[in-house]
Amino acid sequence: MKMGFNPPELILPAGNFQKLKYALAYGADAVYAGPPDCSLRARLNEFDMESLKEAIEYTKLRNKKIYITLNLFARNSDFWKIERYVKELEEYAPSAFIVSDPGVVRFLKKLKIKTPLHLSTQANTLNFESVRFWEEAGIERIILARELNYDEIVEIRENCRNVELEIFIHGAMCMAYSGRCILSLYFTGREGNRGDCSHTCRWKYYLIEEKRADDPIEIEEHGDGSYILSSRDLCLINYLEELKSLHLDGYKIEGRTKNVFYVSLVARAYRMALDRVYNLGDGDSIMAPEDLINLLDNHGYTTGFIFRGTDIAKNEHLSVDELQNPFEKQYKKQYIVGLVREADSRKMIVEVKNPLRKNDTVLAISPDMIEEVKILSIRDGEDYIDMAYGAKKQIVTVQIDRDISGSTWNFGILVKKHKPLE
């Protein structure tokens, strides 16, 4: 009986080994990662065969799960690479391979692999007959299409009780059907369905009528331009109680190309929120989970399709005020200024990522603590300085105004309001 009644896994993206470590430290039950040439993240993906092997071992030692993405839409020339990755990585026993191409599923079955197979959301599974088809093909978990609404997922769950089901609950969304966009390939030659999307949906566009090509229609979305193909970001952190009755097995977060700050904060926020919903405790924090999420850069939040056309009368957006001008709001978000390497009482050893100044007030975030602190002094070696620069990759000793002992600071982060000057 695979139908999930336990808390669903919280599954975080891992674009490199460092992000994987932070995701697990901040509360992920599982991570997903993959090789650049066989998953849907060819750019800003630092994994190779050896680091993936190391990542599998690291994750398993912590009793967490790691899902290896092989979810490209394969060409004939790709199968030798897929075979190489699968045969080598299977020796390290990853938790599952995530696939989307029916040909890849058939190919892996021919190889008689022992690792479970999960079906990517790219396969846009929309109905219970499709779920049954994939279950009969040997798939153990289906990551459902983002286009489904709540009632449709209920119906799938009721008709498919022996297969695991998973949905995305947070992150960027493609304007195309289940991510099957060809704009990037058309405009830049970079194929989104092979992990090399140029994010052309985020470009500024004009509307042109067929017979009036010389007279473009100006669409005044706001002062910074018109982004008519740019979707808001999915965010379901306020609706986990409603999702509980779906009995799903996994909640996934998008963002393998996002930075350590994003991965850590979104993991911490959803971990807190899920623990509250399932009465597992909520930890100590000066901020609510939804406030943590609002620290992150975003394109404005939406609940996507999940409540549309249902009896659950939810406002599509988390906050109308927050979404009046998402680009202006985005500028006002936090940014990372340093990674904490060590901390003791009122002192921190910090790897500087962006300018950090004496007398700055920053948020000091760890897997089990969030505190607002003031920087009293910065020491570089034996010299006291007024500012440390991220470009120099400085390691500095920072004195702060309060005692932060008792927390796990080897995965600590310092963040500050506003973006640094370009």
Nearest one of 271, 256, 264 to 353, comparing CA atoms: 264
Given 282, 310, 329, which residue is the final one in a domain?
Answer: 329
Which structural domain, as residue segments, surrounds residue 114?
A: 9-173+231-329
Q: Please provide the average confidence, as pLDDT, over all residues in the chain.
A: 85
367 with 384, same domain: the answer is: yes
Residue 418 burial by Cβ neighbours in a 10 Å radius (0-12, 13-18, 19+): exposed
192: in domain: no
pLDDT above 90 (res 20) = yes
Handedness of CA 352, 382, 366, 251 (dihedral sign): positive
| Domains: count for the chain | 2
182: in domain: no
Name the pLDDT band for 335 (thresholds 50, 70, 90). Answer: confident
Nearest one of 143, 140, 139, 149 to 125, comparing CA atoms: 143
249 with 376, same domain: the answer is: no
CA-based end-to-end distance of the chain = 54
244 with 378, same domain: the answer is: no
**Residue 161: CATH number of its domain:** 3.20.20.380
206: in domain: no
Residues of the chain with pLDDT > 70: what percent? Answer: 81
CB 410 within 8 A of CB 351: no
Given 282, 299, 329, which residue is the final one in a domain?
Answer: 329
260: in domain: yes
193: in domain: no
293 with 248, same domain: the answer is: yes
Contacts of 261 (CB under 8 A, 6+ apart): 296, 334, 335, 336, 413, 415
Name the pLDDT band for 323 (thresholds 50, 70, 90). Answer: very low
Find tokens 């990372």 and name the residue: 336
Q: Tens digits of per-residue pLDDT, 143-196?
A: 999 999 999 999 999 999 999 999 999 998 877 666 667 777 767 766 666 666
User: What's the confidence (pLDDT) of residue 320?
Assistant: 36
**Residue 407: CATH number of its domain:** 2.40.30.10
